[in-house]
């Protein structure tokens, strides 16, 4: 049994840690872990892993991210741990201890393809949303954002699709939408 807290680096909104000589992107939106080698030593366990997931490889991910990584840690391995994302303090804690009491807010979720789905309240409606820590942006259907302020376009990417421009929006809190 082990608990460990890591320093968390956010590179363009993507959470990255270093462990055992590896640079690891923490991606709750990926069903699978990919790594530069056929096994990954993480938190005292050695896991067999894939070197690609569909069209996504580590060299392709590096190109899309714009920074070096050796590993995309997906939900096949993340689901084995209790995890606290502490973005204000730039840390992330992993534990495989059953009786560990974490100090934080518990998020209730379901899963689709082992990817966490949370309920978000948007325009006073409850909408299920993927909890994708590896994504720079979150996406909603256009109808759900009709009262949001357009902040302009930004570049994003999706593995297997590539880079694209997309509008970024912000809720108009002054209008009482939330």
Residue at 129 is within a domain: no
Buried b (16+ CB within 10 A) or exposed e, 59-86: eebeebbeeebbbbbbbbbbeebbbbbe
Residue 175 has pLDDT above 70, yes or no: no
Residue at 57 is within a domain: yes
Residue at 100 is within a domain: no
User: Over the stretch 119-136, which tens digit does the pLDDT of each residue have?
Assistant: 988 878 888 999 899 998
Domain range for 69: 3-95
Domain count across the chain:
1
Phi/psi at 36 (5° precision): -70, -15
pLDDT above 90 covers what percent of the chain? 57
């Amino acid at each position: 049994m082990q608990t460990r807290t890591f320093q968390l680096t956010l590179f363009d909104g993507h959470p990255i840690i270093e462990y055992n000589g590896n640079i690891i992107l923490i991606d709750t939106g990926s069903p699978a872990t990919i790594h530069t080698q056929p096994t990954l030593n993480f938190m005292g366990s050695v896991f067999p892993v894939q070197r690609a997931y569909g069209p996504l490889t580590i060299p392709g991910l590096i190109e899309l991210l714009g920074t070096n990584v050796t590993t995309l840690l997906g939900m096949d391995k993340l689901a084995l741990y209790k995890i606290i994302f502490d973005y204000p303090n730039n840390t992330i804690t992993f534990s495989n201890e059953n009786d560990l009491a974490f100090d934080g807010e518990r998020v209730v979720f379901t899963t689709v393809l082992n990817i966490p789905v949370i309920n978000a309240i948007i325009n006073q409606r409850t909408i299920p949303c993927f909890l994708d820590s590896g994504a720079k942006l979150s996406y909603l259907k256009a109808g759900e954002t009709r009262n949001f302020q357009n902040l302009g376009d930004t570049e994003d990417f999706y593995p297997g699709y590539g880079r694209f421009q997309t509008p970024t929006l912000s809720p108009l809190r002054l209008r009482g939408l939330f």
